[in-house]
């Protein structure tokens, strides 16, 4: 039964991944995520339902549009596969539980941020606002008023901490070191995992981003590395591996 539900979560993840592609591409451009329906960006061919089956349609069509035969970006199926992996792995680790809901919310935000931040170097405020409300509601239902208030305070603390880090970075590097979207993103992180794990996620995300940053810096010093995806990758990893408050403190004692 567990395997069956894992497969189900894989399918659901791929479907949501297809939708997250739309959100990540359209919201930063102030386009509706509802209308018009999905279309080929090359020839504006409106896609039929059988051209929208996540992953499968891309493979059947050989990665090309059925109308103009132009190549479809491999990013689309990769996002669908990534979301499917995140969803199915979350279920496999947590089963149907409160922790699963937290993991799915973080995973969903992560995928959208990957699409928007990598393509436009933007984390849309609308998306951040939506997921902050969503995770707060989850906290309110799962942990009650006390837990939700603590989550809000954690979010505020991490927002201010990241803001101070941004100011210091701007002073040291004499240019913008972090985007405003990254600072706002930390409010969500605080809501999701609390102040200690949230602060640790900043350190962990920096470690994850370091190798790529060095490679990009050596190739082109003017290139900018989107930091938002790394913050949420670190956050999701802390949730998935069940890292808690005591585990983090033990590293420094």
| pLDDT tens digits, one per residue of 187-237 | 999 999 999 999 999 999 999 988 877 776 677 655 667 889 999 999 999
- Which has the minimum average pLDDT: 11-20, 43-52, 99-108, 110-119? 43-52
Looking at residue 72, its pLDDT comes to: 84
pLDDT, greater one: 109 or 38: 109
For 56, what's the count of Cα atoms within 13 Å in the CB-facing half-sphere? 9
Among candidates 53, 57, 50, which has minimal Cα distance to 72? 57
Cα dihedral 27, 33, 39, 43 in deg (nearest 10): -40
Looking at residue 253, its pLDDT comes to: 64
| CA 100 to the chain's CA centroid | 16
DSSP 102: H
Looking at residue 147, its pLDDT comes to: 94
Looking at residue 220, its pLDDT comes to: 65
CB contact at 8 A, 159 and 198: no
| pLDDT tens digits, one per residue of 111-157 | 999 999 878 889 999 999 999 999 999 999 999 999 999 999 999 99
Looking at residue 217, its pLDDT comes to: 66
Give the start-to-end residue ranges of the domains of the chain.
Answer: 1-96, 123-253
What's the pTM?
Answer: 0.93
Question: With b meaning 16 or more CB within 10 Å and e meaning fewer, what string describes 70-79?
Answer: eebeeebbeb
Distances (CA, A) of 137 to 40, 101, 133, 182, 187: 36, 11, 6, 22, 15
CB contact at 8 A, 47 and 139: no
In angstroms, the CA 104 to CA 248 distance is 23
């Amino acid at each position: 039964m567990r395997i069956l539900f894992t497969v189900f979560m894989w399918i659901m993840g791929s479907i949501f991944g297809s939708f997250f592609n739309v959100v990540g591409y359209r919201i930063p451009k102030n386009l509706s995520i509802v209308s018009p329906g999905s279309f080929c960006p090359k020839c504006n061919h409106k896609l039929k339902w059988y051209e929208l089956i996540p992953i499968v349609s891309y493979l059947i069509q050989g990665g090309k549009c059925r109308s103009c035969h132009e190549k479809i970006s491999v990013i689309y199926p990769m996002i669908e596969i990534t979301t499917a992996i995140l969803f199915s792995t979350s279920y496999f680790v947590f089963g149907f539980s409160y922790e699963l809901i937290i993991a799915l919310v973080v995973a969903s935000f992560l995928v959208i941020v990957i699409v928007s931040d990598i393509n436009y170097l933007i984390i849309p405020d609308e998306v951040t606002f939506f997921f902050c409300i969503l995770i707060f509601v989850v906290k309110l239902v799962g942990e009650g008023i006390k837990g939700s208030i603590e989550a809000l305070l954690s979010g505020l603390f991490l927002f201010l901490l990241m803001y101070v880090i941004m100011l210091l970075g701007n002073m040291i590097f004499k240019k913008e070191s972090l985007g405003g979207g990254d600072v706002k993103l930390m409010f969500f992180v605080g809501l999701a995992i609390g102040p200690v794990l949230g602060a640790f996620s900043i350190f962990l995300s920096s470690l994850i981003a370091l190798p790529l940053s060095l490679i990009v810096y050596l190739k082109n010093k003017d290139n900018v590395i989107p930091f938002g995806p790394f913050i949420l990758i670190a956050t999701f990893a802390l949730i998935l591996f069940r890292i808690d408050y005591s585990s983090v403190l033990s590293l420094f004692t």
